[in-house]
Amino acid sequence: MLLIAIAALITMLKYLSRFRLKRLFLALLFSLSTLLISVVPTLSQPNPSANTTHIFFSAGCADCWPYTEKVLLSTLRSHQLANDAQIHDYTVPNGRKLLLSIADSVKLPRSIADSLYAFIPTKKGTLVILGHVPANLIDAALTSPDLPRRLVLWQPKMHGQPTEYRLWAWVGQVQTFPIATPFAQALAQTRLSVGPLPVGEANLAALLPAVIVTGLVDSVNPCAFAVILLLIAFLFTLRKSRDRVLQLGGIYIVMIFLVYFAIGLGLLRAVSLSDNPHFVAVVSSWLLIALGVLNLIEYFWPKVPIKLHMPAIAHHKTNELIKKATVPATIVAGVLVGLCTFPCSGGIYVSIITLLNAKTTLAWGIAYLVLYNVLFVLPLIVILLAVSNRIAAKAWASWERQHALQIRLWYGVIMIALGAIMWRGLLS
């Protein structure tokens, strides 16, 4: 399905180039790239604190301060690594922002986490300490001649005597060893592990279906149907050649995609700076349930004034713009539609973004965001490519008008179900 959508976009680009609008299309992509770089600088810039030891934990962690002072910093001082060490509280926005920035710079998966983080510069790269690792293991890691460029040294037990520790070198499975296992022996076994990070560790198996399902559901929600009907009306106003229709229709869809993607980038960045992104994700799942209830209310009590619709004034203005059938008017219409449909269809979008932030890395979050938005505009692409069959397009529009309330019923049920599934997934 994704390949079909990409092929469709390539087809649009060919038509755009045929009408000498390739520069415009590339300019739009350049603008989006600029936005992407400005929103997520950690993906394109090196970590400015690569030579400084950074330690992160919650100020409310009663055991973290004593461990940091008596064990971690004491061990680092013996290796001349504590002179410029910085300690941060990751429950405050600036501390969390820095933690995510450094974690993303070394591509540390969000699923590999603990109550305490220490990013220690080594001669080859970075040693990541997670949890309360005993001093002898830290010392063994820092003096090991075989220390890889990146290594996670992880001891998850906070209270009592530790019974095991874990190693991971960014390939294969996270390896677990009895606490008495010599570090050199554990490291040698870890280095034998090959392959990419398992799907389970990166949460890909859970997140990919969630993104695909929510993207497809959002693409056929009642507000998105309003977008489709606007597109059909737009295509019917053109007494132009098929090539001209594909050209302007492609611009219209690309603008909706860019606007929705830009909104998603902003939300992803905002959520990543939250003091408690997990709590935000839970709230978003309840928001999704609430919006689903509103759809059910509209089905059972259509006269209730609270409705999830594209504003009438925006609908009227968009109709005026698309009837002009010019490139500037089409661009403005696409931007307007993208902005005005977000409030009524953004519940799923916000929920999946907060879920991505809580369950995966920033880079994967952006990749999923691209996939979600391709799926969101997929029905528009299908309609555009089938534009020559106006009978089918009219039948689609007629069917939507006849079944609008039924669509809201099922959409409301799906939203409530997705919200409940996300909520349970966040609690697990």
Contacts of 226 (CB under 8 A, 6+ apart): 309, 310, 315, 341
Best-predicted range by mean pLDDT (12-16, 142-146, 275-279): 142-146
**116-121 vs 164-168, strand pairing mode:** unpaired
pLDDT band with cut points at 50, 70 and 90 for residue 120: very high
Q: What residues contact residue 200 under an 8 Å CB cut-off, 6+ apart? A: none
| Residue 69 reports pLDDT greater than 50 | yes
Token pair recorded at residue 52: 């400084």
pLDDT at 59 exceeding the cut of 90: no
Identify the helix (H) or strand (E) that includes residue 99.
helix 93-105
Q: For 360, list phi and psi in degrees, rounded to 5.
A: -150, 180
Q: What is the pLDDT of residue 112?
A: 83
Instruction: Judge contact between 236 and 390, C-beta under 8 A.
Output: yes
Task: Give the mean model confidence (pLDDT) for residues 270-276.
Answer: 65
Please report the pLDDT score of residue 281 as a whole number.
66
Dist CA 376 CA 260 (whole Å): 9
Contacts 24+ apart (CB under 8 A), 6-10: 6/374, 8/381, 8/382, 8/384, 8/385, 9/254, 9/381
- Cα-based distances in Å from 354 to 100, 124, 318, 379: 15, 35, 31, 25
pTM: 0.58
164-188 pLDDT per residue, tens: 999 998 877 789 999 999 999 999 9
**For 86-116, what is each residue's pLDDT tens digit?**
999 998 888 888 998 899 888 888 778 889 9
Ranges 32-41, 127-136, 230-239: which has the least confidence = 32-41
Q: Is the pLDDT of residue 162 over 80?
A: yes
pLDDT for res 56: 96
Taking Cα atoms as reference points, which of 127, 139, 322, 331 lies closest to residue 232? Answer: 322
Summarised one tens digit per residue, pLDDT across range 369-428 is 899 999 988 888 887 777 656 676 667 667 767 777 777 787 778 778 877 776 766 555
Structure tokens at 164: 């095991």
Beta bridge partners of 120: 127
Q: What residues pair up with 312 in beta bridges, in sequence order? A: none
Q: Which of 177, 194, 195 is nearest to 186 (CA)?
A: 177
